[in-house]
């Protein structure tokens, strides 16, 4: 799909359509995917607080390392650029690669852990990154500006809204009208191909502002350091649930998710660099994820 997007851009695709397709992914397809995932799983299976805390600890440790290296080794000083580098280092391709991978390795026992981590990743990582970007762009300080930041980054965030609605439906056993369910079932599968097509259409294989050394570092950080930090966090916090451990490490070992590129496009920052990190980390992950699976299995 990435290759098709890249070829289409060079032949028949008008790149002026790219923002519209990305908006379709961001406002319709991905929310439908997350709503379906959260509404069809019981709350008790989704909430494993110690395991989620260990997973988020791995995210925090990796994010801090991304910030330190970007700031002091690669000398990046712009706050928005640092936020996007952190997001590239910790946000995995959860929904697009995570679900088939964990199901293939662990079967249905991993469903609750997989969906829970996907939801946490989208709410806290995508939502958190947008909140930081909105905060950086906010000129004023005080309660009103803070509410405006929350409004733009969360309360109007379709990913956050769809997840909350899905959890509400699950918690209260609300029946979804068949017509609505049919529309959601048609929209949700579009998230994967359209997002990857858009990624390919925006891909720049020519040299960008990011150095090759930093590109290599970001790929190493995402594919090796992040899962290692997740594994260490589970050990340090004494979380011994093997299904959650393997699921969390495998999901952390996945390449940078295409949704990071959607955020980059939305805020017009680190966009070309993000597309390269997503693509090249995906290619390298064919080997690295296999090695992680062998080691864990």
pLDDT in tens, 123-133: 889 888 988 88
pLDDT value at residue 18: 87
pLDDT-derived band at 205 (thresholds 50, 70, 90) equals low
Q: Distance between CA atoms of 171 and 103, rounded to whole angstroms?
A: 24
Q: Distance between CA atoms of 183 and 266, rounded to whole angstroms?
A: 25
Q: Taking the model in full, what pTM does it have?
A: 0.79
pLDDT-derived band at 175 (thresholds 50, 70, 90) equals very high
Q: Distance between CA atoms of 145 and 137, rounded to whole angstroms?
A: 11
* Parent domain of 151: 2-296
Over residues 133-171, the pLDDT tens digits come to 888 887 665 677 667 767 766 677 787 888 889 989 988
pLDDT value at residue 149: 66
CB 224 within 8 A of CB 288: yes
Over residues 62-87, the pLDDT tens digits come to 999 999 999 999 999 999 999 999 99
Domain count, the chain: 1
CATH of residue 163's domain is 1.20.1530.20
3-state secondary structure of 256: strand
What does the DSSP assignment read for 29-44?
A: IHHHHHHHHHHTS-HH
Kindly tell me the burial class for residue 292, based on how many C-beta atoms sit within 10 Å of its own C-beta (0-12, 13-18, 19 or more): buried
3-state secondary structure of 141: coil
Q: Distance between CA atoms of 237 and 230, rounded to whole angstroms?
A: 11
Q: Distance between CA atoms of 249 and 102, rounded to whole angstroms?
A: 10
pLDDT value at residue 8: 94
pLDDT-derived band at 217 (thresholds 50, 70, 90) equals very high
* Residue 30 pLDDT > 90: no
pLDDT value at residue 201: 84
Helical segments of the chain, H only: 2-11, 18-24, 30-39, 43-46, 49-72, 79-90, 99-106, 111-120, 127-137, 143-150, 158-172, 178-187, 191-202, 212-220, 226-236, 242-252, 258-267, 271-296
In sequence order, what are the residues at sequence separation of 6 or more whose Cβ sits closer than 8 angstroms to the Cβ of residue 185?
Answer: 36
């Amino acid at each position: 799909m990435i290759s098709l997007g890249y070829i289409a851009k060079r032949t028949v695709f008008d790149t002026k359509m790219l923002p519209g397709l990305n908006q379709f992914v961001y406002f319709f397809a991905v929310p439908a995917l997350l709503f379906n995932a959260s509404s069809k799983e019981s709350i008790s299976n989704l909430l494993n607080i110690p395991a989620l805390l260990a997973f988020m600890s791995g995210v925090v440790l990796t994010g801090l390392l991304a910030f330190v290296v970007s700031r002091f080794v690669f000398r990046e000083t712009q706050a928005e650029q640092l936020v996007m580098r952190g997001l590239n280092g910790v946000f995995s391709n959860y929904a697009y690669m995570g679900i088939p991978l964990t199901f293939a390795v662990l079967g249905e026992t991993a469903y609750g852990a997989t969906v829970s981590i996907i939801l946490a990743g989208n709410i806290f990582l995508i939502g958190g990154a947008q909140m930081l970007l909105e905060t950086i762009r906010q000129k004023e300080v005080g309660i009103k500006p803070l509410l405006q930041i929350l409004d733009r980054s969360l309360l109007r965030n379709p990913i956050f809204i769809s997840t909350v609605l899905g959890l509400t439906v699950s918690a209260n056993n609300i029946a979804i009208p068949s017509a609505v369910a049919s529309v959601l079932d048609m929209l949700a599968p579009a998230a994967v191909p359209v997002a990857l097509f858009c990624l390919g259409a925006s891909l720049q294989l020519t040299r960008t502002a990011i150095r090759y050394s930093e590109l290599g570092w970001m790929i190493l950080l995402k594919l090796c350091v992040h899962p290692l930090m997740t594994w260490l966090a589970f050990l340090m916090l004494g979380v011994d649930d093997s299904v959650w451990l393997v699921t969390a490490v495998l999901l952390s070992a996945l390449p940078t998710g295409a949704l990071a590129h959607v955020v980059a496009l939305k805020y017009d920052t680190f966009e070309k660099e993000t597309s390269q990190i997503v693509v090249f980390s995906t290619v390298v992950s064919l080997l690295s994820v296999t090695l992680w699976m062998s080691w864990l299995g």
